[in-house]
Structure 1
């Protein structure tokens, strides 16, 4: 019997066969949690779920956001298109 090493992310329970991928996922979730906390501290009436969704969106697209901040603001619109495409695909699979 073969032994396959697996890494489990404490934050969401995701399993990875690659340690580097597990660490990157954990860092992304930590960034999302910190963004969520910032939003909740800054905006008193923000819905917790919306703050979490925004945090995850920003964390998943941190490279694109960094490029947009450095002078390519049109890249932000690409994130919106990707998110809309992902939601429509998800809706189609749920039907």
Structure 2
């Protein structure tokens, strides 16, 4: 999925030299099950951690319903979504807290 997105970007930008603008080991760049699996696991792990706010970047809006369902299951006190955009790139941050104040 990531490779297809990169290829689409290169084609739309009419880029001939194909080099990635990020680096890292494969286990740092992807997760079995993809973004939803990674964030769902993060939500589950956040229940037992004392932290005011947890945040995660969500690249695809279509992943939000699954993420919100996972959050509903753990009953956070507050959930917020911050929409962001730069050019054609749209993303969002989902934040949740188990603390009242």
TM-score by length of 1: 0.21
Higher relative contact order (CA 8 A, sep 6+): 2
The structure with more helix, counted as a fraction of residues:
1
The structure with more strand, counted as a fraction of residues:
2
